[in-house]
């Protein structure tokens, strides 16, 4: 089992070009696990990887409109995360799971006075590197 730990601040979320970054404040993340898919689903083997990233939203933190490079489940470890997608606001609390398809624009914000920790479980192309948060794109 490979464990990759990569700390990055929100200032480096997105691609290397400044215009490709997602506006964000008060967020840090660490990739905790990444493994290439192998098993009975042979059509997936070697093409995709699973990644788990722990993301911390400081009080007042905001991750502006964005997509993700791949789909995945999220689990709120502690605190309350305010999620806005397609004009609908949902507050996810500690213990909640939710799904993000990756191709729907949304925002995430900590509107509380305590840190929020969320684990992102994602499916990504095996060659994908860097943060999975990307600017909105037309699909």
46-81 pLDDT, tens per residue? Answer: 999 999 999 999 999 999 999 999 999 999 999 999
pLDDT exceeds cutoff 60 at 110:
yes
Q: Where are the alpha helices (DSSP H) in 1-139?
A: none
Q: What pLDDT does 125 receive? A: 97
Q: How far is CA 99 from CA 68, 76, 92, 116, 135, in A?
A: 12, 12, 11, 17, 19
Q: What pLDDT does 40 receive? A: 97
- Planar angle of CA 34, 40, 41, nearest 5 degrees: 70
> Which whole number is the average pLDDT over 95-103?
95
- Residue among 124, 112, 18 at smallest CA distance from 56: 112
Enumerate the β-bridge partners of residue 62.
Answer: 25, 109
State the residue for tokens 């060659």.
Answer: 127
Kindly list the structural domains of the chain, giving each domain's residue range(s) and its CATH number in brackets, ordered by start.
Answer: 7-134 (2.60.120.10)
Mean pLDDT of all residues belonging to the chain: 87
Per-residue tokens: 132: 């999975």
């Amino acid at each position: 089992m490979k464990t990759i730990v990569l700390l990055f601040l929100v200032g480096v979320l997105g691609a290397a070009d400044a215009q490709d970054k997602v506006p964000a404040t008060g967020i840090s993340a660490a990739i905790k696990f990444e493994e290439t898919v192998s098993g009975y689903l042979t059509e997936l083997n070697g093409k995709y990887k699973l990644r788990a990233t722990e993301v911390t939203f400081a009080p007042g933190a905001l991750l502006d409109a964005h997509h993700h490079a791949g789909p995945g489940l999220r689990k709120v470890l502690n605190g309350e995360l305010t999620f806005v997608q397609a004009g609908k606001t949902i507050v996810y609390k500690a213990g909640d799971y939710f799904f993000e398809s990756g191709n729907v624009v949304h925002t995430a914000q900590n509107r509380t006075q305590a840190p929020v920790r969320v684990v992102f479980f994602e499916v990504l192309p095996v060659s994908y590197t860097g943060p999975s948060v990307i600017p909105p794109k037309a699909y």
